[in-house]
Chain A
Amino acid sequence: MSVSKPLPHDAAALHVTGQARYVDDIPTPRGTLHLAFGLSQIARGRITAMDLAQVRSSPGVVAVLTANDLPFDNDVSPSLHDEPLLAKGEVFYVGQPVFLVVARSHRAARVAARRAEIRYAEEEALLTVDAALAANSRFEDGPRIYHKGDAEAAIAGSAHVIEDSFEIGGQEHFYLEGQAALAMPQEDGGMLVNSSTQHPTEIQHKVAEAIGLPMHAVRVEIRRMGGGFGGKESQGNALAVACAIAARQTGKCCKMRYDRDDDMTITGKRHAFRISYRAGFEAGGRITGVSFTHLVDCGWAQDLSLPVADRAMLHSDNAYAIPAIRIESHRLKTNLQSATAYRGFGGPQGMVGIERVMDHAAHVLQIDPVELRLRNYYDAPSDAPAEGGAAPRSATVPRGISEKMKDNSTPYGMEVTDFELHEITAQLLESSDYARRRRDISEWNADNDRLKRGIAFSPVKFGISFTLTHLNQAGALVHVYQDGSIHLNHGGTEMGQGLFQKVAQVAASRFGVDLNRVKITATDTAKVPNTSATAASSGSDLNGMAVKAACDTIRDRMAAHLGEVYQQPASAVVFQGDRVRIAETEITFETAAMMCYTGRISLSATGFYKTPALDWDRIKGKGRPFFYFAYGAAVTEVIVDRLTGENRILRTDILHDAGASLNPALDIGQVEGAYVQGAGWLTTEELKWDGSGRLRTHAPSTYKIPACSDRPDVFNVALYDGQNREDTIYRSKAVGEPPFMLGISAWLALSHAVGAFGAGYPHLNAPATAEEIWRRAERIQDGV
């Protein structure tokens, strides 16, 4: 069977030879026009005059469009209809598109876009969460509050109470391929759009609205992205819509690619949070209650901020059974880029909150941070094996009632029935030699004044499913041709995660054929309609199941027909080893396909899947938003320099739960990449805006993502030997986002190292840049 094999990425041979095509590599017809936006230069105000004469007369310019020139809907929002493609008289952030230049070259368009003279009546911009809170500038009427028990009462009666407030910065996606789209007008007024998007159906929807046609007139195709990470879930809408409108008006093929600086200036990023907490602990380390307040910087438009902020609340427990909890979440509207989806979708911020509480409490209670965490873990399922892999079981098997059992329900009332972390933690602590290294580090730190080392463990429990329940559906289209070759299409998009290969492995396994019979094709809204974004780590869970359904439909038809021909029951027909066996007879798969074709059997089928068992009320904050949880844990060791704040990751050990992996090589790649990206978020990646709301870190020269030389010196990554207890595709688990949060261990290790400079708690903010580390080390050494 193809599933579970560590096969290379499906397009690896094309990538290594430079032949893999991205949107910007697609050959375009002669006369293709290029687009650029003219951007707002202020953070908030009314446009009082706009002189575009210099733009129009700039060499190579074909057309210049403003909001008044848009024939139909002027909106590119994925949610609230609050995000005009081109500003309607008012601007809300520095970088907001105000007008659109259509020119004969990319450069001509960009040069012209800088020649506008726009006058504004400036208004006071809200550039911080404090300013937004003071002005009551927010999405939704007031804060969302989820709670379980009476947190304040529980905290008040505790032996130890800790409280603090800290900042968590946002994060630029820095997909290596910037946003890009290409629109080709069709003969009947329709539009063919190639877009670097995680969400082709939404591109189709927004383009159709913008050119005043039904969705059937717009076809969106995407073979691959050069990275997405959530940044291409909604942020590609503007480019695709602009291209389609310009293509309609000029009759020419139109292409738009953001230059990197424009990309970083215009598009949304990960939500920055301020988290305040108050938590109570018993003397023995058991948490009694915790109260969180999240101030979420959503930027100027709603985009996906509500579900992002919800998911942060839903991960405020992480791995811990907390008897009483209250989470208050303010979704604040500021005059910055509209924060958007980013790997983890708010989960990482929520998780950093509770991990900070655990870190702080371990310091105050003088308990080893791992021991403290273990005492607060959710209970393992009652049938969990003492060692080794977990057997699948139904989520509804009742557990024995024991006084020792914790209340294993989450703050939102979902029972945790698949908690793998006891076993994962035990294995990882042993393989990483945590206890000995922690002792060694204490000794080493005692002998060193300027350099200190730190080590930290952190677990991940991440909920899998879109919290907007209706998004948990997927479709597929499979054809078997008369020569035995198989054409595969589904609603998921490929952004490097290896989805296409995993799903092809599923298809090959269902037909029992070699993988090279299966042709992977571009995602296409004309083949599979009404798809959800490839997001929430759900790509292989949803699309794998849809493809399985389609393959099984065809296989069952083939089995019935071949059984009839050979006078055997359909159950006697076996698809295996690239052949088909019917009782004693064995034929090739292509012979089987040809026989079915001549026997007038349909060899094409659609497949559909919807995730079962979900039931979620986001206003009440109660129900089962997730089908299951994915788990993982990491131990990171770092070293810091007190005089400069300079720091390095010395060693990382990870054990991650991908269920019964569909492809261990691709999954390990996801884990490694996610960890490094997560550690980057919490260490070097710092977004800075100036006092006028202008993003100053708008290029890799000033925004530091991890480089090859920043990788941990020792990096041990393994997959946990288990399988999903829920009935997912071959019992695998989603792996796109969960390992991102393993990077939290790097931030905690820095906290441990900085703490070694004095007796106090370091109170690190995130990102813990060299400057932040230096500041905290100075303070702690001074006994502040």
Chain B
Amino acid sequence: MSTKMHIKLTVNGKNEEFLAEPRELLIYTLRERLNITGPHIGCETSHCGACTVTIGGKSVKACTMFVAQANGAEITTIEGIGSPDDLHPLQTAFKEHHGLQCGYCTPGMITRATKLLEENPDPTEEEIRFGMAGNLCRCTGYQNIVKSIKAAAAEMNAAKEAAE
């Protein structure tokens, strides 16, 4: 039980190296070992999505992944998506379109939405609703979350067109 593993991760572009028990859950690694507290603990059974991070280009619920499984991976959390002075279009949209209330689900929600828009840059409302169904919010009723993602997609597509 106490055999520790040598773990290497890249989190938000920063290399991290440490010894950890293989059964340590990734969400604890992030929050307690690395002080990255944007991903939250909601249900610890991968249903609520408050802990969503991106690993190797996929949305992952960090509460049900062992850090050993993530060994060698590149991980992006909400902290790696933007900062208050340099917001990602999704972050701006969630702020301006009121896509949050208590905010607890917001980091996971936005992290998931970044992947959704990579997979499908111009989603319909229906596609957003089903693409986000793995992230629960108890406050908003989702209306403004869908609105925020639509607004961000439009903004990002317009920026892409302008750049081309």
Contacts and interface: CB of A to CB of B under 8 A. Distances in A.
B161 to A, nearest CB: 25
A675 to B, nearest CB: 6
Interface of B: 28, 31, 35-45, 47-48, 50, 77-79, 81-84, 87, 90-92, 94-96, 98, 100-107, 110, 128-130, 132-146
Given A14-B84, A177-B40, A496-B103, 12 more contacts: A13-B84, A15-B106, A15-B107, A174-B138, A175-B138, A226-B102, A260-B44, A668-B98, A669-B101, A701-B47, A706-B141, A708-B128
B141 A260 contact: no
Contact of A9 (B44, B81, B98, B105): B98
Nearest to A709: B133
Nearest to A226: B104
Q: Which 4 A-B pairs have the closest CB atoms?
A: A18-B38, A496-B102, A226-B104, A15-B103
A261 B45 CA distance: 9
Contacts of A705: 136, 138
A355 B41 CA distance: 39
Contacts of B48: 176, 700
A715 B141 CA distance: 10
Given A260-B44, A497-B101, A700-B45, A176 B143 contact: no
A717 B141 CA distance: 12
Interface stretch (A19-27, A420-428, A570-578): A19-27
Main secondary structure of the interface of A (DSSP, over half): loop
Given A673-B139, A708-B132, A17 B78 contact: yes
A700 B50 CA distance: 13
Given A16-B110, A665-B98, A699-B47, A177 B38 contact: no
Contacts of A229: 138
A674 B137 CA distance: 12
A260 B136 contact: no
Interface in A682-722: 699-701, 705-709, 711, 715, 717
A346 interface: no
A677 B136 contact: no
A532 B66 CA distance: 43
B47 A700 contact: yes
Contacts of B95: 8, 12-13, 15-16
Nearest to B82: A17
B84 A19 contact: yes
A8 B93 CA distance: 11
A544 to B, nearest CB: 18
Contacts of A13: 84, 87, 95
A8 B98 contact: yes
B35 A27 contact: yes
Interface in A483-511: 495-498
Contacts of A8: 95-96, 98
7 contacts: A13-B84, A15-B103, A16-B91, A174-B138, A670-B101, A672-B141, A677-B141
Contacts of B101: 9, 227, 496-498, 669-670, 673
Contacts of B110: 16
B140 A673 contact: yes
Contacts of B94: 12, 15-16
Interface residues of A, number: 60
A676 B133 CA distance: 15
Contacts, number: 186
Given A17-B78, A18-B107, A19-B84, A176 B100 contact: no
Interface of A: 8-9, 11-22, 24-25, 27, 107, 173-178, 224-229, 257, 259-261, 495-498, 665-666, 668-670, 672-677, 699-701, 705-709, 711, 715, 717
A769 B28 CA distance: 36
Given A176-B40, A176-B136, A260-B42, A676 B103 contact: no
A176 B47 contact: no
Contact of A176 (B44, B79, B84, B104): B104
A11 B94 CA distance: 12
Tell me which of A17, A226, A677, A717 has the highest count of chain B C-beta atoms within 10 A of its own C-beta: A17
Nearest to A663: B98
Contacts of A11: 103
B102 A17 contact: no
Contacts of B100: 9, 12, 15-16, 496
Contact of B143 (A27, A497, A715): A715
B105 A176 contact: yes
Contacts of A25: 31, 37, 40
Given A498-B101, A673-B139, A676-B141, A17 B91 contact: yes
A707 B100 CA distance: 15
B102 A225 contact: yes
Contact of A677 (B38, B138, B144): B138
Tell me which of B82, B84, B91, B104 has the highest count of chain A C-beta atoms within 10 A of its own C-beta: B104
A177 B79 contact: no
Nearest to A12: B95
Nearest to A259: B44
A705 B139 CA distance: 11
A447 to B, nearest CB: 25
A24 B140 contact: no
Contacts of A717: 143
Tell me which of A16, A669, A677 has the highest count of chain B C-beta atoms within 10 A of its own C-beta: A16
B133 to A, nearest CB: 4
Tell me which of A495, A668, A673 has the highest count of chain B C-beta atoms within 10 A of its own C-beta: A673
Contacts of A701: 45, 47
A683 to B, nearest CB: 14
A16 B77 CA distance: 12
B40 A19 contact: no
Contact of A672 (B47, B91, B135, B144): B144
A717 B143 CA distance: 10
Contacts of B35: 27
Nearest to A11: B103
A503 B128 CA distance: 34
Contact of B42 (A12, A16, A176): A176
B136 A496 contact: no
Contacts of A677: 138, 141
A666 B142 CA distance: 14
Contacts of B28: 107
Nearest to A257: B41
A237 B10 CA distance: 40
